[in-house]
Chain A
Amino acid sequence: MIPAPFDYVAAESVPHAVDLLGSLDDDAKLLAGGHSLLPMMKLRLAAPSVLIDIGRLTELIGIRAEGDELVIGAATPHATLATSDLARADAPLLAHSAALVGDPQIRHRGTIGGSLAHADPAADLPMALLALGGSVDVLGQGGTRNVAAEHFFTGFFETSLEPGELITAVRVPRRPGAAWGYQKFVRRANDWAIVGAAAIDGRIALANMGPTPLRARAAEQALAGGVSAAEAADLAAEGTEPGEDVHADRDYRRHLARVLTRRALEHRT
């Protein structure tokens, strides 16, 4: 499978990438690892007229502590995040989720910013970011803004990124020692979650239970009210309208959400 023809330009810096985004056609796309975009281009589900390559901008790669937050450059590959001592100590749920994306070769290329911008509701990192109460730094012609995960994912493969904006970094609270659990149900190795659940302390996020990653708020409130993990997990699917596909119908996804939430809560470490 061959992508449709496109023009290619390698950005020389983040400001250069923003200038290019502002000056090129509206259908210009940013390319980092390309592990969401290139498969879609090969299937001709996407046919941008121009790709702006930001994958080798070192200013977008790396992990650092900044006050009480961990800051991950948008073009940091999953493998780097998964094996980072800093991330494993301060945000182990995030490092763990990065370690579950695809397979080693995919984790060498795919990036955290790319995964979040792609906004697949079945993906690992969007759910992890929501569970952690993280945010993304977004840069455009008008300057920088910070968008909380709650407001970032707006629909099925849709985000609040405006045309001309790019993600520069991802922020999550540093929480060494916080109890967390992570569950992902798949039929085949390396697959996207049929349903996923991530819990840290009393926050619970679900993958593939709707058009975006979701908080299991009824379960969170019950947990805060002092019920057991099992009782709280019974409420995990409240208010969700998950899609149906060859893998699971709506009721089965709701069942999975309850079971996986219970396991995530009970196996918090």
Chain B
Amino acid sequence: MQVEITVNGQQRSDDVEPRLLLVHYLREVCGLRAANVGCDTTSCGACTVLLNGTSVKSCTVLTVQAAGQQVTTAEGLAANGELHPVQAAFRQEHGLQCGFCTPGMVMAAVGLLAENPHPTEAEVREGLEGNFCRCTGYHNIVRAVLAAADGAAASGTAGGERAEVSA
């Protein structure tokens, strides 16, 4: 069936099967391969994207459920050649190891900060409980989200005074 979806600000119209999962639509129809298929069972969060600004696991959303709505993937975050503050913070704080979970982590973090712009460390950890990093690189990921919340990465001033993250 025909669906109209706005993906990263661009209006699209595509003919899709009702059973086409949103993550497969993004990767195979739109050619946007940031969202990864990890567990494929709504657990790992590697496929996290924003649906109308809210984080969702795109392996458990049908494309037809997103008809008429706004989808944002990691490809849609950077603007005017500048990384999104969360992306910049992940880079600055080295919030990734192998990188597989990173697009989902970043999108979950963007969604978290939209709901709670100044989270505590505990709120960051709970807010990212739906995203698994199998390298177990959580410390730097949490550090990155806190830095993004501080605006530290965007202003480039975080180097000297890092948020303290306890074990």
A-side residues, CB < 8 A to B, are 1-8, 10, 31, 34-35, 38-39, 41-42, 51, 53, 55, 79, 102-106, 108-109, 189-190
Whether B67 is near chain A, meaning CB under 8 Å from some CB there, is yes
Q: Does B48 contact A (CB under 8 A)?
A: yes
Report yes or no: A34 in contact with B130, Cβ–Cβ below 8 A. no
A55 to B129, CA, bound (A): 25
Most buried by B among A31, A35, A108: A108
Query: Is B95 on the interface with A (CB-CB < 8 A)?
Result: no
Considering only CB atoms, which chain B residue lies closest to A77 in the complex? Answer: B54
Residues of A within 8 A of B65 (CB): 31, 34, 53, 55
CB distance from B112 to the nearest CB of A (A): 7
Chain B residues positioned under 8 Å from A104 (CB to CB): 55, 108, 111-112, 127, 129-130
The CA-CA distance from A79 to B114 in the complex, in Å, is 14
Contact partner of A103 among B1, B17, B18, B45, CB < 8 A? B45
Looking at chain A's contact residues, is the secondary structure mostly helix, strand, loop, or mixed? mixed
Contact B108–A3 (Cβ < 8 Å): no
Contact, CB under 8 Å: B42 / A39? yes
State the CA gap A103–B127 with chains docked (Å).
8
- The answer to whether B54 and A35 have CB atoms under 8 Å apart is no
Q: What are 15 A-B residue pairs whose CB atoms fall within 8 Å in the complex?
A: A1-B40, A2-B21, A10-B67, A31-B65, A35-B42, A35-B60, A53-B64, A79-B54, A102-B130, A103-B129, A104-B129, A105-B42, A105-B45, A105-B130, A109-B61
Q: Closest B-chain residue to A3, C-beta based?
A: B19
Residues of B within 8 A of A51 (CB): 18, 62
Asked if B43 is at the interface of the complex by the 8 Å CB criterion, the answer is: yes
B1 to A39, Cβ gap below 8 A?
no
Taking a contact as CB atoms under 8 Å apart, the answer to whether B17 and A5 are in contact is: yes
- B residues within 8 A CB of A189? 129
The reply to whether A8 and B60 contact each other, CB–CB distance below 8 Å, is no
Besides the known contacts A103-B129, A104-B111, 20 further A-B residue pairs in the complex with CB atoms under 8 A apart: A2-B19, A10-B64, A34-B61, A34-B62, A38-B60, A38-B62, A39-B41, A42-B41, A51-B18, A102-B42, A104-B55, A104-B127, A105-B45, A105-B56, A105-B57, A105-B130, A106-B57, A109-B61, A189-B129, A190-B130
